[in-house]
């Protein structure tokens, strides 16, 4: 019974014992030790299992006391060495190797004591089941370890912030290589034959496990904007990805608190409204269900430039100006001026609106341009019945002031636009079941 349920505990003990034996043979040199103890773990394990095989033995815990079964590790090492006809450690070598050996032996003692102090817990079936479960996750851990290792390797070179998947080719190569190496080490391949390697690897793995926690939290917090940046970069060209990256990096924080509008994980710069008939509507004011203006260009992003589909160059979006002189960023579609023009004019510091951080103002004579509409006519016309059923008020958007306080910005907008044209036909079906594409 104990042999099967405690196989993981056994392998840990065997590894510890074999390591102790190797330590006692270290004076022979790495190659000789490797040759002499090659397969030692397998032999030890088989010997223990062989002995513990009869269940009536009752030697469940005793079977794991490897020192009782095989004798002290140093005696085992001596027997192995003399049988192989190899010389003992020179007398002087013991003193010379003092610190390493003393530390190694102290470590072996401490770890054995640590293990035995946990034995009441680790010998329970529940613990074994847990260990087996955890062990089945080992490949996932190897991948995570490789990823953490890559982050650590790249960190001093500034190649990458902690990202799930680096943007640079070099970073990607480092991540892949680190994961491959980590997995191979986990499978027992490619393991360097240095004496100190197993222990160094153990320490590094623990460090990686500890580092993984903040890194994963960081990436988790980063994930939405960062992933969106790269996708949009691939989808819409380098410029947009680059600009989006600028935006998200310039934000007050990474994550959902970044101001703005997102569609499919990609930051939106501008919105285009169409009426029920599928015709464009200009100067639409958008508010959310709590009356807050919907801004694609957050107060922290007014100086950012964006690339726009179908129009080359960078563009700096301009807010609408209300009759009281305040800027209104929730009036769509936003118009824009070429980014390089406002960039040059930057120094004037002409700031509009006391509540704003300001926005780039085009030099005199440059008029904000309307950005290209995605469609001349919306692909789908909406039957009026749907709108009536959902929200009758939605068909009369031109009169919001009746139940709003006088300060409502919708009433004193300088550019009322052509909204009235779309109001005319709202009560009648505009397009009957026409699905224009």
Least Cα distance to 151 among 140, 162, 166, 141 occurs for 162
The residues in 191-230 that bind other proteins, with binding defined as CB under 8 A, are: none
* Span near other proteins by CB under 8 A; candidates 74-82, 158-166, 271-279, 321-329: 74-82
Is 42 a residue that touches other proteins (CB under 8 A)? Answer: yes
Nearer to other proteins, 46 or 388 (CB): 46
Alpha helices in 251-409 (DSSP H): 339-345, 384-390
Q: Residue 234 has which token pair? A: 């691939």
Task: Identify which range of 39-47, 140-148, 166-174, 200-208 contacts other proteins by CB under 8 A.
Answer: 39-47
Kindly state the smallest distance separating residue 131's Cβ from other proteins, in Å.
Answer: 17
Among 28, 77, 208, 228, the residue binding other proteins under the rule CB under 8 A is 77
CB of 168 to other proteins, least distance (A): 39
Q: Nearest CA to 339 among 320, 311, 377, 358? A: 311
Q: Which of residues 374-433 bind other proteins (CB under 8 A)?
A: none
45 touches other proteins (CB under 8 A): yes
80 vs 180, beta carbon nearer other proteins: 80
List CB contacts of 223: < 8 A, sequence separation 6 or more: 164
DSSP 191-238: ----TTHHHHHHHHHHHHHHHHHHHHHHHHHHHHHHHHHHHHHHHH-H
Return all residues near 85 (Cβ < 8 A) that are at least 6 apart: none
Identify whether the C-beta of residue 140 lies closer than 8 Å to the C-beta of residue 188.
no
State the Cα–Cα distance between residues 11 and 125, nearest whole angstrom: 16
Residues 78-117 that bind other proteins (CB under 8 A): 79-86
How many residues touch other proteins under the rule CB under 8 A: the total is 24
Nearer to other proteins, 85 or 120 (CB): 85
Choose which of 70, 107, 197, 272 interacts with other proteins (CB under 8 A). 70
Of 45 and 123, nearer to other proteins (C-beta) is: 45
132 binds other proteins, rule: CB under 8 A: no
* Cα-based distances in Å from 83 to 80, 219, 257: 5, 55, 70
> Which range, of 71-79, 307-315, 318-326, 392-400, touches other proteins by CB under 8 A?
71-79
Q: Output 78 or 254, the one with its CB closest to other proteins.
A: 78
Least distance in angstroms from the C-beta of 224 to other proteins: 44
- State the DSSP code for 175: H
Q: 28 or 371, CB closer to other proteins?
A: 28
Which of 17, 64, 76, 306 is the binder for other proteins (CB under 8 A)? 76
> Could you tell me the smallest distance in angstroms from the CB atom of residue 20 to other proteins?
13
Which of 20, 23, 33, 36 binds other proteins (CB under 8 A)? It is 36
Q: Calculate the CA 220 to chain-centre distance.
A: 5
Task: Identify the residue among 4, 29, 50, 348 touching other proteins (CB under 8 A).
Answer: 50
Q: What one-character DSSP code corresponds to residue 322?
A: B
User: Of 100, 222, 99, which Cα lies nearest the Cα of 165?
Assistant: 222
Cα–Cα nearest to 406, from 284, 320, 333, 323: 323
CA neighbor of 232 nearest in space, from 255, 257, 265, 271: 265
- Single residue of 12, 16, 30, 41 touching other proteins by CB under 8 A: 41
| Rounded least distance, CB 296 to other proteins, Å | 59
DSSP H/E element including 131: helix 125-136
Q: The tokens 């005199």 sit on which residue?
A: 364
Residue numbers at the binding site for other proteins (CB under 8 A)? 35-36, 38-43, 45-47, 50, 70, 76-77, 79-86, 188
């Amino acid at each position: 019974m104990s042999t099967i349920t405690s196989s993981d505990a056994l392998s840990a003990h065997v590894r510890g014992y074999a390591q102790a034996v190797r330590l006692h043979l270290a004076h022979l040199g790495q190659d000789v030790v490797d040759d002499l103890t090659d397969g030692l773990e397998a032999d030890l394990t088989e010997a223990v299992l062989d002995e513990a095989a009869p269940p009536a033995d009752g030697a469940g815990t005793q079977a794991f006391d490897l020192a009782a079964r095989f004798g002290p590790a140093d005696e085992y090492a001596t027997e192995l060495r003399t049988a192989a006809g190899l010389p003992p450690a020179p007398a002087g070598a013991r003193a010379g190797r003092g610190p390493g050996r003393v530390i190694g032996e102290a470590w072996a003692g401490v770890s054995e004591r640590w293990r035995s102090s946990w034995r009441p817990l680790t010998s329970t079936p529940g613990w074994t089941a847990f260990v087996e479960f955890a062990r089945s996750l080992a490949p996932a851990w190897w991948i995570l370890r490789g990823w953490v290792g890559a982050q650590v390797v790249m960190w001093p070179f500034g190649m990458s912030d902690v990202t799930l998947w680096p943007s640079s080719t070099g970073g990607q190569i480092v991540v892949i290589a680190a994961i491959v190496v980590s997995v191979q080490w986990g499978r027992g391949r490619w393991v360097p034959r240095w004496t100190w390697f197993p222990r160094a690897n153990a320490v590094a793995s623990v460090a990686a496990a500890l580092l993984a926690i903040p890194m994963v939290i960081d990436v988790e917090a980063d994930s939405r904007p960062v992933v969106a940046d790269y996708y949009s970069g691939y989808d819409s060209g380098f410029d947009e990805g680059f600009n989006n990256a600028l935006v998200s990096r310039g934000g007050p924080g990474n994550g959902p608190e970044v101001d703005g509008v997102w569609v499919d994980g990609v930051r939106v710069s501008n919105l285009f409204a169409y009426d029920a008939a599928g015709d464009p509507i200009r100067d639409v004011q958008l508010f959310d269900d709590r009356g807050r203006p919907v801004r694609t260009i957050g107060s922290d992003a007014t100086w950012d430039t964006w690339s726009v589909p179908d129009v080359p160059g960078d563009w700096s979006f301009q807010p609408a100006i209300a009759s009281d002189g305040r800027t209104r960023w929730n009036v769509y579609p936003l118009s824009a001026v070429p980014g390089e023009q406002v960039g040059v004019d930057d120094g004037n510091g002409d700031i509009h609106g006391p509540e704003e951080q300001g926005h780039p103002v085009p030099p005199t004579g440059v008029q904000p341009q309307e950005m290209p509409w995605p469609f001349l006519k919306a692909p789908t016309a909406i039957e009026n019945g749907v709108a009536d059923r959902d929200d009758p008020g939605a068909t009369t958007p031109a009169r919001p002031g009746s139940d709003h306080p006088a300060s409502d910005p919708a009433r004193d907008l300088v550019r009322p636009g052509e909204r009235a044209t779309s109001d005319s036909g709202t009560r009648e079906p505009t397009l009957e079941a026409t699905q224009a594409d």
